Amino acid sequence: MTRASIHLRMAQLGITLPAPAAPAGAYVPFVISGSLLMVSGQLPVHDGAVVHHGRVGTELTVEDGIAAARLCALNLLAQAAAACGGDLDRVQRVLRLAGFVQAAPGFGDHPKVLNGASDLMVEVFGQAGRHVRIAVGAASLPLGAAVEVEGTFEIA
């Protein structure tokens, strides 16, 4: 895969970028410092509303959590594209995802849930989509969201 094929690959995979979500507070969706692109924590938002609420493993199944994590990652891509003036080919590498899963004490399947986000990055960017990750269980998340994912990218 050449570097110029990210948007083509996404089209072939049937992946459509949503409009970048508005921040939920007094911050900005992305900053660029040198070659580092940092994107704010993204929620499982679709058309402006959180669509996966509650605790994974209790109110929600792991499969629901995976879908929520994938949606967070899609929103990360939308922000990354906006940061790059619409051109995701400027992304050299996905460096890091930090994933928080709203879950009850005793839950342990955070890695499965967050693979919903990680897998999307690898589908879209191939080898350049492989990243480091932390996966943590949150007692609560903004707006009751089931999952939140933050992303750091290396850009050209």
Footprint on this chain of its own copies (rule: CB under 8 A): 23-31, 33-36, 38-41, 55, 93, 95-98, 100-112, 114-115, 118-119, 122, 130-145, 148, 150, 154
Closest CA to 21 of 82, 90, 69: 82
Distance CA 36, CA 115 (A): 23
Query: In whole angstroms, how close is the CB of 132 to its own copies at the nearest point?
Result: 4
Beta bridge partners of 136: 100
Residue with smaller CB distance to its own copies, 17 or 131: 131
Query: In whole angstroms, how close is the CB of 95 to its own copies at the nearest point?
Result: 5
Closest CA to 121 of 97, 103, 138: 97
Query: In whole angstroms, how close is the CB of 96 to its own copies at the nearest point?
Result: 5
Residue with smaller CB distance to its own copies, 18 or 23: 23
Closest CA to 84 of 35, 14, 28: 35
